[in-house]
A and B are shown apart, each in its own frame.
Chain A
Amino acid sequence: DQQVKQNSPSLSVQEGRISILNCDYTNSMFDYFLWYKKYPAEGPTFLISISSIKDKNEDGRFTVFLNKSAKHLSLHIVPSQPGDSAVYFCAASSFAGGTSYGKLTFGQGTILTVHP
């Protein structure tokens, strides 16, 4: 049962344009969401996060939107740069069972390629 899904395995964008990466989740208990960027053979790098009490969070070129009713979040990168080419993972967590937010559930990732 995949609770976090990234339905697009890959996305190709021209430099300077907007990249939109999408993520859907099924577990309504999730209340904290994160996006990570990953290069091969390296650990994921944290990009941006959002709590379920918000519907938007911005950090520089990165904006995350959360639609709780649709159980959908998206990451917008504007403008896209060739250095943004990597695998992007969305992740979700919840205070399940009153323990902690220490467990992240990841999507399968989307390969973003930004062409010069």
Chain B
Amino acid sequence: KAGVTQTPRYLIKTRGQQVTLSCSPISGHRSVSWYQQTPGQGLQFLFEYFSETQRNKGNFPGRFSGRQFSNSRSEMNVSTLELGDSALYLCASSLSGLPYEQYFGPGTRLTVT
């Protein structure tokens, strides 16, 4: 079974621009969660989607948004990029968001200059 895939793997953007990252979950998984990893803050939860609905949201500004499609694929968008948004963005999928393990993709490394 194919794992979680994320595109693109690497991205360089300029301050003020916006960016869209994509995540395809493991086949059959309906829950997708997004995380941001930075050296200073570690791994932090952004949001979770299930059946095209946001079920959980972390403490990030409204510039961070996401959505999920009917095939469970998910996208996250960051508008008006800031230097501090440079990070590894990870998505993870699980069967349903019940206490099942989450499986992570390889991440998208975003650099904001």
Interface of A toward B, CB cutoff 8 Å:
31-32, 34, 36, 41-46, 49, 51, 89, 91, 93, 95, 99-109
A100–B31 touching, CB < 8 Å:
yes
B45 within 8 A of A: yes
Q: Count of B residues near A, CB < 8 Å? A: 30
Q: Which 8 A-B pairs have the closest CB atoms?
A: A100-B97, A43-B104, A102-B48, A106-B43, A102-B97, A32-B99, A103-B56, A46-B101
Q: How far is the CA of A114 from the CA of B56 in the complex (A)?
A: 37
Which of B43, B44, B50, B103 touches A102 (beta carbons < 8 Å)?
A: B50
With most chain B CB atoms within 10 A of its CB, the pick from A51, A103, A109 is A103
Q: Is the CB of A103 within 8 A of B107?
A: no
User: Considering the chains assembled together, what is the distance between the CA atoms of A108 and B99 in angstroms?
Assistant: 22
Interface residues of B in 33-52 (CB under 8 A from A): 33, 35, 42-45, 48, 50
Q: Which residues of A contact B104 (CB under 8 A)?
A: 36, 43-46
**What's the Cα separation between A57 and B72 when bound, in Å?**
31
Question: Which residue of B31, B48, B56, B102 contacts A46 across the interface (Cβ within 8 Å)?
Answer: B102
Find the B residue at minimum CB distance from A95.
Answer: B99
B4: which A residues are within 8 A, CB to CB?
43
A101 to B101, CA, bound (A): 9
Separation in Å of the A111 CB from the closest CB of chain B? 13
Cα distance, A36 to B98, chains bound together (Å)? 18
Given the known inter-chain contacts A43-B104, A43-B105, please indicate yes or no for A101 contacting B43, CB distance below 8 A. no
- Chain B residue numbers with a CB within 8 Å of A45 are 104
Query: Is the pair B106, A46 in contact by a Cβ cutoff of 8 Å?
Result: no
In the bound complex, do residue A105 and residue B45 qualify as a contact, i.e. CB atoms below 8 Å apart?
Answer: yes
A43-B3 Cα distance, complex, nearest whole Å: 11
Whether B15 sits at the interface, judged by CB under 8 Å, is no
Tell me the nearest residue of chain A to B58, going by C-beta: A103
Is B63 in the interface zone, CB < 8 Å from A?
A: no
Whether B99 lies near A103 (C-beta < 8 A) is: no
In the complex, chain A residues whose CB is within 8 Å of the CB of B56: 99-100, 102-103
